[in-house]
C-alpha cells in the first residue's frame, strides 16, 4: 500500500474524511500525539487499527468526538456532575473520560469492556477530520505497538509506511504526551493514565481525585489492571534505560559514573538530561530533554526515538519531580525503563 503524507489543508482533510467513511485508516495530529483513526462505529475498520499497529486485541481504544452532543449516543446514562464539570473545564483538550458504553459502540473498540473512553481533542485538524467524516473516530496513538508515541508526522511515517493510506501532517504536537485518562464510573474520578490535565487541576474542578497506584509501578504477577494499557511495556527504547532520581548534583555524579562504567564495559551509553545540566556531563554523549517538565513532555518521545537511531544500548535519564506534568513524564519514562529507577 502506498502511504500518502499530506500537509493539513481543506483538501487533505476532505480526503481523510472520505477514507474514514470508506472504512480506511488515517493518521492525524492532535495536541497530545498523532492518532491512527478509523470509523469508531465500524467493527471491521477498527480491527484494521489493531493490525496496522500490531496492538494486542485486549487493549481498548479512545473514541474521539468534535462536539459535546456526540457524547450521549456513545454512553449509557448521563454523565455525573463531576464528569460535566471536567468536560466544561477541560474539553476540548488533552483529557479522556471513561463512561459505561452504549450498544452503539462495537466491542472491538472497547476490547469487550462495558466501558468506553471518550476524548474531545482541541487540535483544529483533529476536529476538522471528525467533522469531515461525520462520525466519531476511534484512535490510538499512531505508533507501532511498543514504540514511543509519535509527536511528528515523520515518526508516523517511520512506523506506518506501507500500512495505511494517509498521514495528515500538522507539525509537532504541543503537549507531546497522551491525554489524561480518567475513570468516571465510580464515585471519585480516578486517574488511570496521567497526562496533559494534572491531578491538581482535576482536584480543583471536582473537589476530589485519586491516582491509580499502578501509575508509578510495574504490575504484579497476575494482576488485572483497571486500564489494560498498564500491562504493556510501552515506549520502550531498544537499549536498557535506567532512571536516576535524587538531588541534582547527586544524580549528575551517579550518571557520570554509570556512563563511564558502561563505556569501559564496551557498551554504547547515552545520557538524557535537562538542558541546564548538559554541560555537567562534559564530552559524554547526551540528548537534551528541555528545560522543565513541560518541555520534557514535548521532547521525550522524540528523544527516545533518537536514542534508538543512535544505536545506544545503555541509557541513563535524569528524573523529574512527580508534580504537575512531572507525573505524566515520570509515568512514561518509568514504563520505558520497566520502572528501573535508581535512588541516589
- Do residues 303 and 319 lie in contact, with contact meaning Cβ atoms separated by under 8 Å? no
Residues 42-81 that bind Mg ion (CB under 5 A): none
Residues 73-132 that bind ligand TXA (CB under 6 A): 96, 98, 110, 113, 115-117, 119, 121
Stretch that binds Mg ion, among 23-31, 69-77, 125-133, 135-143 (CB under 5 A): 135-143
113 vs 258 by CB, closer to ligand TXA: 113
228 vs 324 by CB, closer to Mg ion: 228
**By the rule CB under 6 A, 151 interacts with ligand TXA:** no
- Do residues 211 and 200 lie in contact, with contact meaning Cβ atoms separated by under 8 Å? no
Long-range residue pairs from 292-295, CB within 8 A, at least 24 positions apart, any chain = 292/320, 293/320, 293/321, 293/324, 293/325, 293/326, 293/329, 294/325
The helix/strand count (H/E) of the chain reads as 10, 16
91 vs 235 by CB, closer to Mg ion: 235
- Do residues 116 and 41 lie in contact, with contact meaning Cβ atoms separated by under 8 Å? no
For the four alpha carbons of 238, 242, 247 and 250, in that order, the dihedral sign comes to negative
- Do residues 126 and 35 lie in contact, with contact meaning Cβ atoms separated by under 8 Å? yes
Cell of 30: 492532535
CA distance 110 to 126: 21
**By the rule CB under 5 A, 141 interacts with Mg ion:** yes
- Do residues 183 and 189 lie in contact, with contact meaning Cβ atoms separated by under 8 Å? yes
Residue from 48, 59, 188, 201 touching ligand TXA (CB under 6 A): that is: 59
173 vs 244 by CB, closer to Mg ion: 173
Distance, CA of 210 to chain centre = 20
Cβ contacts of 294 within 8 Å, gap of 6 or more: 325
91 vs 301 by CB, closer to Mg ion: 301
**By the rule CB under 6 A, 178 interacts with ligand TXA:** yes
Cell of 264: 569501559
Residue from 150, 176, 229, 239 touching ligand TXA (CB under 6 A): that is: 229
CB of 273 to Mg ion, least distance (A): 25
Distance, CA of 280 to chain centre = 31
Which residue has cell 481543506? Answer: 10
**By the rule CB under 6 A, 300 interacts with ligand TXA:** no
CB of 155 to ligand TXA, least distance (A): 13
Stretch that binds Mg ion, among 71-79, 141-149, 185-193, 258-266 (CB under 5 A): 141-149
CB of 169 to Mg ion, least distance (A): 19
CB of 313 to ligand TXA, least distance (A): 26
117 vs 129 by CB, closer to Mg ion: 117
CB of 4 to ligand TXA, least distance (A): 19
Long-range residue pairs from 259-267, CB within 8 A, at least 24 positions apart, any chain = 259/284, 259/314, 259/316, 260/284, 262/314, 267/313, 267/314
228 vs 269 by CB, closer to ligand TXA: 228
Residue with the shortest CB distance to ligand TXA = 229
Binding mask 6-35 toward ligand TXA (x if CB under 6 A, else -) reads ------------------------x-xx-x
Binding site for ligand TXA (CB under 6 A): 30, 32-33, 35, 59-62, 96, 98, 110, 113, 115-117, 119, 121, 139-141, 178-179, 181, 192-193, 227-229
Residues near Mg ion (CB under 5 A): 141
Amino acid at each position: 500500500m502506498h502511504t500518502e503524507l499530506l500537509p493539513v489543508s481543506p483538501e487533505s482533510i476532505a480526503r481523510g474524511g472520505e477514507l474514514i467513511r470508506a472504512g480506511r485508516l488515517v493518521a492525524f495530529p492532535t495536541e497530545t500525539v498523532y492518532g491512527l483513526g478509523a470509523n469508531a462505529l465500524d467493527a471491521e475498520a477498527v480491527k484494521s487499527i489493531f493490525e496496522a499497529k500490531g496492538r494486542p486485541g485486549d487493549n481498548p481504544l479512545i473514541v474521539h468526538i468534535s462536539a459535546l452532543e456526540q457524547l450521549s449516543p456513545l454512553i449509557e446514562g448521563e454523565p455525573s456532575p463531576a464528569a460535566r464539570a471536567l468536560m466544561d473545564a477541560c474539553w476540548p483538550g488533552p483529557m479522556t473520560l471513561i463512561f459505561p458504553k452504549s450498544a452503539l459502540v462495537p466491542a472491538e473498540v472497547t476490547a469487550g469492556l462495558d466501558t468506553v473512553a471518550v476524548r474531545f481533542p482541541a487540535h483544529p485538524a483533529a476536529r476538522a477530520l471528525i467533522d469531515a467524516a461525520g462520525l466519531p473516530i476511534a484512535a490510538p496513538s499512531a505508533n507501532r505497538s511498543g514504540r514511543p508515541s509519535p509527536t511528528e508526522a515523520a515518526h508516523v511515517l517511520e512506523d506506518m509506511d506501507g500500512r495505511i493510506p494517509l498521514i495528515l501532517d500538522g507539525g509537532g504536537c504541543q503537549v507531546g504526551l497522551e491525554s489524561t485518562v480518567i475513570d468516571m464510573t465510580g464515585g471519585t474520578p480516578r486517574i488511570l493514565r496521567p497526562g496533559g490535565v494534572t491531578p491538581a487541576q482535576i482536584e480543583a474542578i471536582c473537589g476530589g481525585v485519586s491516582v491509580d497506584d499502578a501509575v508509578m509501578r510495574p504490575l504484579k504477577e497476575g494482576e488485572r489492571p483497571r486500564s489494560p494499557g498498564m500491562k504493556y511495556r510501552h515506549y520502550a527504547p531498544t537499549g536498557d534505560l535506567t532512571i536516576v532520581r535524587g538531588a541534582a548534583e547527586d544524580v549528575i555524579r551517579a550518571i557520570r559514573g554509570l556512563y563511564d562504567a558502561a563505556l569501559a564495559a564496551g557498551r554504547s551509553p547515552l545520557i538524557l538530561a535537562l538542558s541546564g545540566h548538559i554541560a555537567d556531563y562534559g564530552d559524554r554523549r547526551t540528548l537534551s530533554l528541555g528545560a522543565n517538565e513541560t518541555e520534557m513532555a514535548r521532547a521525550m518521545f522524540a528523544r527516545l526515538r533518537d536514542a534508538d537511531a543512535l544505536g545506544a544500548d545503555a541509557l541513563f535519564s535524569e528524573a523529574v519531580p512527580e508534580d504537575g506534568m512531572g507525573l505524566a513524564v515520570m509515568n512514561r519514562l518509568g514504563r520505558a525503563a520497566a520502572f528501573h529507577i535508581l535512588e541516589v
